[in-house]
Structure 1
């Protein structure tokens, strides 16, 4: 695959990744990230100005997505802890109700 194709495919995956993250589909986002990483690693140093514009957009998206993923992880973690606390409280109720 030539460099132009690699960069265009990486950009297409970036757009799909952003859509998955917007839909809170973090599993799909992770899969797309793995596919894109191989392409990003295959990008050579010397590129045309046009290619550099796309590469910079990919880099900006990566930075933005990191922030979104961190925020989502924190929110999901809080929800998980709250659900676990409620499950434990329900278990304590069941134990107390048996007596």
Structure 2
């Protein structure tokens, strides 16, 4: 639905729905889908006005809380992946050194 055609309440409801879809994709580690949904959500976020009903403000706070949790989880995942990557590089170097030493002893 075009954000121009939505009233602010419908817009915020749609944003919360998309945010929950992003949360679901992230929980499944489906990062391409989470990124796609984030791109879909971005123009809608830009359409939110500052003047909101109390119910819409509550939904916006939920969106912000979900986003904060997702960001923290993404940072944790990124750090874990970095650690795994460094460990894999270390194992690769060790295997290469082992093979180099084996060739020296055979030769």
Aligned with residue 84 of structure 1, among 78, 81, 89: 89
- Relative to the length of structure 1, the TM-score reads 0.86
Unaligned runs of 5+ in 1: none
1:15 and 1:85 mapped to 2: Cα distance?
38
Query: How many Å apart are 1:80 and its aligned residue?
Result: 0.8
Q: 2:30 aligns with which of 22, 25, 32?
A: 25
Q: Distance in 2 between matches of 1:35 and 1:97?
A: 55
What root-mean-square deviation, in Å, do the aligned CA atoms of Structure 1 and Structure 2 show?
1.5
Partner of 1:83: helix, strand, or coil? Answer: helix
* 2:49 match: 44
CA distance in 1, matches of 2:40, 2:99: 47
Structure 1 runs (4+) deviating above 6 angstroms are none
Question: For 2:49, what is the secondary structure of its paired residue?
Answer: coil
Larger radius of gyration: 2
Query: Partner of 2:71 in structure 1?
Result: 66
